[in-house]
Structure 1
Amino acid sequence: MLRYDSIQSLIDAAERDGIRLSELCLRDQAEELEKPEEELYARMEESFDVMCESVRKGSTAGLRSTSGLTGGEGERMLRYAEERRGGLCGSFLTRALGRALSVSNCNAAMGRIVATPTAGSCGILPGCLVSMYEDRDIPKREVVMSIFTAGAFGMVIANTASIAGASGGCQAECGSASGMAAAALVELSGGTPTQCGYALGMAIVNQLGLVCDPVAGLVEIPCIKRNASGVMIAFSSADMALSGIDLKIPVDECIAAMKAVGDSMAPALKETALGGLAASPTGIRLRKQVFGK
């Protein structure tokens, strides 16, 4: 059985057996849960289907969050991708951003989402993987399998550091999600397990210190926009790893550094809505608008 306390141990096991990380993790989970691999795959496929549906629901014109603070960001970005031929980032990446925003919009409107690894970061993995499936014609089975790689890496982060904004800041949520997505993208692009680890680490180091400062304590402002940024970091990290750029700092040390940074953050910057943007004059005004004085 795998221990899920080190990224490097997962990489070593996959490379020793000559298989992808997703195959290693699916095999291990089937043994641990005493379930057929196809049964676990089917459950993961259902989760991916929910991601696809969350993109559709979240991009519905006129959809607003329960608080009324946000809504329509995903729909506007997807429309912008069509009207402006992809804008500055190109059609593929702009649609990926729109999908990430749409899933976050779905979440804010109390729709059904998959926490990957949290509700606050729910748009990043779908933004990447649904785009690979719908725009790059990657077979659905490969996309679903890549989620096992993302999930395994997320389990290591949860076990050795944190995936919660309340304990590690937004670096623990969007940072982890970006790293998980980057690893999945590398595997989908034919990269090695080692390159998957590099991509995870690069995504994390590019978000070290990111605070969790939700306006009015709601997972909307600035969380929704950070999901879009997380998609860009995931793709850029995956491309760096695939190009042959190495991480320099071992991936498990990057995760340990993220934990140390999170532990040193002031409580006001860890989901309490007492610091950062939540404490800005407009942030305070919006909180009163939602909850009253």
Structure 2
Amino acid sequence: MFAASGEELIKVCKENNINLAEYAIRVEMENSDMSREEILEKMKKSLLVMKHSAEEGMNNEVYSVSGLIGGDAYKLRKYLETGKNLTGDIMVKAMARAISCSEVNASMGKIVAAPTAGSCGILPAVIITAAEKLNKGEEEMINALCTASAVGMIIARNATLAGAEGGCQAECGSAAAMASAAVVEMMGGTPEMALNAGAIVIKNILGLVCDPVAGLVEVPCAKRNFAGAVSALTTADLVMAGVMSKIPFDDTVSAMYKIGRSMPAELRETALGGCATTNRGIILSKKILGENN
């Protein structure tokens, strides 16, 4: 039953009259010793961790061990309370939750790497915020995580989820694609529509490098999490309005992989290029690593 591509995934879902969430559950049941109930319970535990990491930084000023980032999710929460935001409560909440997860991760707190620690804020922020807006409960949120898993499996099989191999497009790009697809299905979209959302998200993030200052998953990683969350949510609306991707999901995944393999090592998590080697990036790196000369 395991699909090797997005095209095959859509075909399997149509033939069995199931959605992406159900597909992911059935595949997990086939490839593990777990029952449906055990799988959903395990996903529920992941959701609870996501909820905590998404709220912790909003309610408290959480700082990274290095001191490089922190307090931003709290600032966004306080800003939201002023009622003066431009993009609306949904977007600001999603931004705050995404950054909160990144801050919790950098403070050595507990997060869910979905699909990676560097992109851990995108899926929680999108799923939690969308469910809140759409009045969806825990069951729907768990199903959304299963949907995201189905999309993540296809990306992992045909490309990469690692920044060290494919740049940040492979981390935040994959996370945002998974999240957007999940929201589309949460809103009643078909598997084909969900993968269209994933395709559009990936197209819009192609070429994003991985350039962490001092080699830490903090700068510019945290800000890229909120950007990925916003992209996922806006793309879900785009697709639900009837807009489709001209480039199929499988082609965008292939393009992402080829671009990642073409990137020099300096732009793939080595901290030898991009933001990491800017004037301020070097200053921050030396301060963190205790290199004064």
Same fold per superposition (TM over 0.5): yes
Identity %: 45
* C-alpha distance in structure 2 between counterparts of 1:289 and 1:24, whole Å: 48
* C-alpha distance in structure 2 between counterparts of 1:42 and 1:61, whole Å: 29
* C-alpha distance in structure 2 between counterparts of 1:158 and 1:35, whole Å: 22
1:194 pairs with one of 171, 174, 192? 192
8 Å Cα contact 1:214/1:273 also seen in 2: yes
- 5 Å-filtered alignment, 1:56-71, equals 56-71=55-70
TM-score for both structures, normalised by structure 2 = 0.97
* C-alpha distance in structure 2 between counterparts of 1:192 and 1:102, whole Å: 31
- 2:181 equivalent in structure 1: 183
* C-alpha distance in structure 1 between counterparts of 2:50 and 2:157, whole Å: 25
Structure 1 residue runs of 5 or longer lacking an equivalent are none
- 2:98 equivalent in structure 1: 100
* C-alpha distance in structure 2 between counterparts of 1:14 and 1:128, whole Å: 24
8 Å Cα contact 1:8/1:197 also seen in 2: no
- 2:124 equivalent in structure 1: 126
* C-alpha distance in structure 2 between counterparts of 1:142 and 1:239, whole Å: 18
* C-alpha distance in structure 1 between counterparts of 2:279 and 2:59, whole Å: 31
* C-alpha distance in structure 1 between counterparts of 2:130 and 2:39, whole Å: 22
Structure 2 letter corresponding to 1:47? S
Structure 1 letter corresponding to 2:57? G
8 Å Cα contact 2:101/2:111 also seen in 1: yes
SS at match of 1:89: coil
* C-alpha distance in structure 2 between counterparts of 1:190 and 1:133, whole Å: 13
TM-score for both structures, normalised by structure 1 = 0.97
Q: CA deviation at 1:55?
A: 1.6
Per-residue deviation, residues 263-286 of structure 1 (Å, max 9, x unmatched): 111110000001001000100000
- 2:135 equivalent in structure 1: 137
* C-alpha distance in structure 1 between counterparts of 2:81 and 2:29, whole Å: 42
- 2:75 equivalent in structure 1: 76
Per-residue deviation, residues 225-279 of structure 1 (Å, max 9, x unmatched): 0000001110121112111111111110110000010011111000000100100
Comparing 107-116 with 32-41, greater Cα deviation is found at 32-41
Comparing 115-124 with 50-59, greater Cα deviation is found at 50-59
Comparing 5-14 with 64-73, greater Cα deviation is found at 5-14
* C-alpha distance in structure 1 between counterparts of 2:61 and 2:21, whole Å: 38
* C-alpha distance in structure 2 between counterparts of 1:92 and 1:35, whole Å: 36
Per-residue deviation, residues 134-193 of structure 1 (Å, max 9, x unmatched): 343212101111111101211111121110100000000000000000000000100011
2:268 paired with 1:270: yes
8 Å Cα contact 2:58/2:76 also seen in 1: no
* C-alpha distance in structure 2 between counterparts of 1:275 and 1:146, whole Å: 36
Quickly say closer, same or farther: Cα 1:149–1:291, change in 2 above 3 A: same
- 1:228 equivalent in structure 2: 226
Structure 1 letter corresponding to 2:49? V
- 1:17 equivalent in structure 2: 16
- 2:30 equivalent in structure 1: 31
> Over aligned residues, Cα RMSD in angstroms?
1.1
Q: CA deviation at 1:58?
A: 2.4
Structure 2 letter corresponding to 1:21? L
Q: CA deviation at 1:33?
A: 1.2
- 1:215 equivalent in structure 2: 213
8 Å Cα contact 1:60/1:72 also seen in 2: no
8 Å Cα contact 1:269/1:275 also seen in 2: yes
- 1:286 equivalent in structure 2: 284
* C-alpha distance in structure 2 between counterparts of 1:60 and 1:243, whole Å: 34
Comparing 179-188 with 30-39, greater Cα deviation is found at 30-39
Matched residues, number:
291
* C-alpha distance in structure 1 between counterparts of 2:144 and 2:59, whole Å: 28
Shift >4 Å, 4+ stretches = none
Q: CA deviation at 1:84?
A: 2.8
8 Å Cα contact 2:276/2:282 also seen in 1: yes
* C-alpha distance in structure 2 between counterparts of 1:19 and 1:152, whole Å: 12
2:201 paired with 1:203: yes
